[in-house]
Amino acid sequence: MKEEDNTSREKRNITKDDIFLKARILSEGIRVKVKKQPETGSPYRPIVLEGCDLVVMPLPNQYSRLEAIVNGEDVVISDMGKVLSPGKFEVRRSWHDEKMSDGMSAGTIYSYSASSTSIINIIMNFRCYNYDSGQGCKYCGLFASPRTKGLPINVTQKMTRSHVELAVIAAKNGWRGTLSITGGAYPPSQRSRTIHDLESVMDQLTKSLDDDILSELHVAPNVYPPKDLEELYKWKEMGINAAEFDLEVMDPAYFKAICPGKSKAWPQEYWKEAQEVAVEVFGRGRGSFQSMVTGIEPMDSLVEGIEERISKGVYSAPLIMVPTTGSPYEQFRPPNANWYVEAAEKISDIYFKYADTLDVNLLTDNRPGFTRVGLSYPNILVRDEMMRRLQEQGRYPPGLPSQDFIA
């Protein structure tokens, strides 16, 4: 399969209709009809909309008006028979076929780790204490699989090493993006393990990649803040260059109700303090960031909270709410597309306002990572709205850059 993705198609600027279509797919879901299976991969992987290059996840919903007709690598999206947009599946890179030391393909581990084109997950803990104790975030069942329950530590450590090996293979093949060192919440008695597990991951990375490659990656633990925030300086000494401490929601009352385990571990104000220390250690913007779950709390508290955070140098990535299987919110629907478009517009206003207050201007940042301009994540709308405006202003050409830096 060719490495080139959509290079022969005529590029065009992103339009408001493109933004709205992506919002609809993420809000309403979509029926997927397969006429011909793709050459490789699942028919439920991200779709690149033709011309504008926006990337969207086809979230299945058998009751949706929207339909995706899959014909090999080609996809046609329609609404009750009216064609809205053609597209193609995201390119599958050839490095996915490389064999790892255990004989498995890199692509298999890529799928197991729930990685994406711009983010490779290195999982350190395959269970979530909060979920197992009934205190998990209400929309999350990511670490609820029966297969990972009761695994001995030597097995989970081997699994983590395979995730690092995957990242090494990708990076040596030109991939650049975020290495998210993450996993489920440790039991309270084991939280001190975090720094030791990080050391193990970073030791494997630094031994496997030369300094030039490692310096080009966005290496960010997505974990609980340590008890002693001075520990973040030790992270930096290891080669880590960012920290992700996710608040999930901005309203303090929602934080307690939606994420009871997180709230019990540390109050929301401590999570914010940790984010601000990360700003001091790693820098404003890409150095300290969080993922948000949008569509749970009212728009006002979401938008106000994101502005307060970026005023302190903390970047927020607002993901569409997609409750996972096994969570209390399983089968809950997110708000409608208009709600998400309005939220994206308001957050974009904020990001344009604060763009030049970060270490690298948010409107010109081309470094691998969450703050990269032109990054179209499958279930984030804000970056697409920002690029739409920048293209409209003539500051960027039609189309989007390679999402993984591979030409």
pLDDT (tens digit per residue) in 247-270 = 999 999 999 999 999 999 999 999
Collect all residues with Cβ–Cβ distance below 8 Å to 279 and sequence separation of at least 6: 287, 288, 312, 313, 314
Three-state SS for 175-195 is CCCEEEEEECCCCHHHCCHHH
Q: Are strands 47-49 and 82-89 parallel, antiparallel or unpaired?
A: antiparallel
pTM of the model: 0.95
The pLDDT of residue 7: 42
The pLDDT of residue 40: 85
- Strands of 40-93 (E only): list them: 47-49, 55-56, 66-71, 74-79, 82-89
Neighbours of 4 (CB within 10 A): 11
Alpha-carbon span 398 to 396, nearest angstrom:
7
Which residues in the chain come in under a pLDDT of 50?
Answer: 1-7
**Nearest Cα residue to 345 out of 308, 293, 392, 388:** 388
Structure tokens at 85: 């947009």
The pLDDT of residue 236: 99
- The SS3 assignment for 33 reads strand
Q: What element of type H or E holds 214?
A: helix 211-215
Region 98-372: CATH code = 3.20.20.70
Q: Burial of 94 by CB count in 10 Å (0-12 exposed, 13-18 middle, 19+ buried)?
A: middle
The pLDDT of residue 144: 82
Neighbours of 321 (CB within 10 A): 21
Query: How do the domains of the chain map onto residue ranges?
Result: 16-89, 98-372
The pLDDT of residue 145: 80
The pLDDT of residue 78: 99
